Structures are given as structure tokens and as C-alpha cells.
């Protein structure tokens, strides 16, 4: 059995896996370009997903399972996976802590107007007159109440914020004061001082936030997207920001990545941009590799208790 990896999972992890699974041949590379010689023989492919095209899968004649070491899988060629009946698993559940920390960092930076203070520091300006507003008592509306949304809500409660969640069913979830079903999305949006999008990209969530949704928000609302860029109608978001329909936005994901140089988002004073890094941390592989290790044991033993097995029809 041969496993091909197009990402670096760390030497210590590789050594442990090789000792534990001595029936497996591991071919671990840092990118897909280095892995060319072993494409045809690989039965299992470990990847972040960005390099996994339909053409690549066609070259992998013996491929039976893809372990995607990211949560986002919307870039994968699902039709090809279905045709070949390839097992797909991912690492959903590992991003809660780093992304929740990112969101709270954004909120607290907004709380002290951190970017303006840094500009004052660079220009040696001593100005103490600032319109600071506490996050105490503010409302955070979180779209998606899974691992990430729930961890954001837990941290927000530590700052005495009111937490509102939106999910498909409207069923209660820990750390949320109130939950709205997706059919009442606009009602939930209207209450948020901060609105956080944690949604995956599916047929149901594509451009779920458009002109009507931004109009439903408070004009003082601050929008944070750490979910998927295409869950937002980017044109409607730009219009809402330009016309001050909402106060501002912190964006880590975009419809097209890298964000095109000609996007007006780059130069907007009420927008903060980061290059899809909210889920990264020094603990990433410490959380991802055990999922792969469990799934590899399951695969070898012919069992079905996979962690995060993806439904190829639902694409999540």
C-alpha cells in the first residue's frame, strides 16, 4: 500500500506513522511537483486540496482515498471523485481555536481602533481623543454553529457579549443565547453589532449574503468573514461598504484567491484584509495528523468509523 503526500506533515509525524504502519510505503513531499514519479502507484493521497484537479486524479490510476488536510473542500473535482467512487475525508473540527482567536483579535483591534493608533505611532502623533466603545454588552451574530462558530461564541461570552447563532434547524447550541434558523437569517443579521460568517461553501450557502442581507444589518455593523469567500456576493459587499450601509469589514477569504490587484477592497479604509490565514497555527498538524492516523487505521482494517467522511453528493 502506497501513500503519497503533497504537503509537509513534519518529520516526527512521518517517523511515527512509518513505525506504526509498517505495511505502508510513505512518499512524503512538500508539493505535487516533486511527487510525479509516484502518482500512478498511490492508493492514498494526502493533500491540502488546492493541487487536486480532475486531471491529477486521472493520472492516479490506483487512487482509492483522499485525506484532505484542510476543512475547505469546495475546490475538489467532485464529479470525478464520484465517477471513481473515491473515499474523501477532511479535518473538520481542528480550526475552532485559532479561528476563534483570530475573530476575537479582530473585534478587540476594532475596539481600540488599533490601525489608527499604529498610524499615530508611525507619525509620532500623541492624540488621546478617541471614540472607544466597549465590546461589553455588544451582540455578535455568528452564521454557522459548528465547531468554529461554537468556539467563537464561547470566547465572546467571556467578554460579556450577547451571542446569536444561525443554523439550518434553529436548534439550541451551547454558548449561544439565541439561535435562528436559516429562513430567519435577516432577522438574526439585524441584531448583530458584529456579524461573523463561518459558513462552508455548498449549493445552499453560495452567495447567501447579498444586497438584501447587508441592508438588513445595522449601519454600525462590522462584518467578519472567515468562512468561504463565495458565500458572499462580493459586489454587494463592496457596495455596502462604499455606501456605509455597514461600518466595516475584516476579510480573510474571497471569491477569488489571491484577491485580484484591481479589487477595490484593497484600498478601502473601512476594510481589513488577511490572506486566508485565520485557521493557521503552530498546532495545526498536531490536530490534523491524528485524524489521518485514525482514518488510516480504519482504512487498513476495512472498517467504516472514519472521522469526517465527506458525502460526495452533498459535498460536505
Quickly tell me which residue has 466597549 as its cell: 134
Q: Which CATH number fits domain 96-273: 3.40.50.1820, 3.10.300.10, 3.40.50.300, 3.40.50.720?
A: 3.40.50.720
Give dist(CA 61, CA 41) in Å, integer. Answer: 7
Per-residue tens of pLDDT for the chain, all 316 residues: 999 999 999 999 999 999 999 999 999 999 999 887 799 999 999 999 999 999 999 999 999 999 999 999 999 999 999 999 999 999 999 999 999 999 999 999 999 999 999 999 999 999 999 999 999 999 999 999 999 999 999 999 999 999 999 999 999 999 999 999 999 999 999 999 999 999 999 889 999 999 999 999 999 999 999 999 999 999 999 999 999 999 999 999 999 999 999 999 999 999 999 999 999 999 999 999 999 999 999 999 999 999 999 999 988 8
CA distances (Å), origin 139, targets 58, 174, 176, 218: 49, 16, 11, 11
CA distances (Å), origin 182, targets 134, 185, 247, 262: 29, 5, 24, 33
Give dist(CA 81, CA 88) in Å, integer. Answer: 8
Grid cell listed for 258: 489571491
| Closest by Cα among 221, 200, 195, 210 to 148 | 200
Give dist(CA 99, CA 105) in Å, integer. Answer: 10
Catalytic residue among 15, 40, 119, 257: 257
Catalytic residue among 95, 228, 234, 247: 228
Give dist(CA 56, CA 300) in Å, integer. Answer: 24
Active-site residue flag, 257: yes
Q: What is the pTM of this model?
A: 0.94
Active-site residue flag, 294: no
Q: Which CATH number fits domain 2-93+282-301: 3.30.379.10, 3.40.50.450, 3.30.930.10, 3.40.50.720?
A: 3.40.50.720
Give dist(CA 211, CA 241) in Å, integer. Answer: 11
Domain with CATH 3.40.50.720 in the chain: 2-93+282-301, 96-273
Enumerate residues 6+ apart whose C-beta is below 8 A from 158: none
Catalytic residue among 111, 276, 287, 294: 276
Ramachandran sector of residue 30 (left: φ over 0; alpha: ψ -120 to 50; beta: rest): alpha
Amino acid at each position: 500500500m502506497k501513500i503519497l503526500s503533497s504537503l509537509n506533515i513534519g518529520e516526527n509525524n512521518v517517523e511515527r506513522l512509518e513505525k506504526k504502519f509498517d505495511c505502508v510505503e510513505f512518499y512524503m513531499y512538500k508539493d505535487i511537483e516533486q511527487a510525479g514519479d509516484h502518482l500512478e502507484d498511490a492508493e492514498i493521497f494526502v493533500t491540502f486540496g488546492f493541487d487536486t484537479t480532475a486531471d491529477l486524479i486521472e493520472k492516479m490510476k490506483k487512487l482509492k482515498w483522499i485525506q484532505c488536510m484542510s476543512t475547505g473542500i469546495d475546490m475538489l473535482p467532485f464529479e470525478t471523485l464520484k465517477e471513481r467512487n473515491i473515499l474523501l475525508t477532511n479535518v473538520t473540527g481542528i480550526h475552532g481555536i485559532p479561528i476563534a482567536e483570530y475573530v476575537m483579535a479582530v473585534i478587540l483591534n476594532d475596539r481600540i481602533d488599533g490601525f489608527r493608533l499604529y498610524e499615530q505611532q508611525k507619525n509620532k502623533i500623541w492624540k488621546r481623543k478617541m471614540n472607544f466603545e466597549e465590546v461589553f454588552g455588544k451582540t455578535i451574530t455568528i452564521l454557522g454553529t459548528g465547531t468554529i462558530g461554537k468556539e467563537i461564541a464561547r470566547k465572546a461570552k467571556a467578554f460579556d457579549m450577547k451571542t446569536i447563532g444561525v443554523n439550518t434547524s434553529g436548534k439550541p447550541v451551547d454558548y449561544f443565547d439565541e439561535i435562528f434558523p436559516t429562513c430567519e437569517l435577516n432577522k438574526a443579521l439585524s441584531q448583530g453589532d458584529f456579524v461573523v460568517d463561518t459558513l462552508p461553501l455548498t449549493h445552499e450557502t453560495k452567495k447567501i449574503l447579498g444586497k438584501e442581507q447587508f441592508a438588513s444589518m445595522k449601519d454600525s455593523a462590522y462584518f467578519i468573514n472567515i468562512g468561504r469567500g463565495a458565500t458572499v456576493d462580493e459586489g454587494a459587499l463592496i457596495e455596502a461598504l462604499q455606501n456605509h450601509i455597514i461600518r466595516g469589514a475584516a476579510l480573510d477569504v474571497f471569491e477569488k484567491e489571491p484577491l485580484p490587484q484591481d479589487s477595490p477592497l484593497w484600498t478601502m479604509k473601512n476594510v481589513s484584509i488577511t490572506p486566508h490565514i485565520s485557521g493557521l497555527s503552530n498546532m495545526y498538524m498536531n490536530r490534523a495528523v491524528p485524524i489521518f492516523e485514525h482514518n488510516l487505521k480504519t482504512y487498513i482494517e476495512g472498517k467504516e468509523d472514519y472521522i469526517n467522511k465527506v458525502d460526495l453528493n452533498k459535498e460536505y
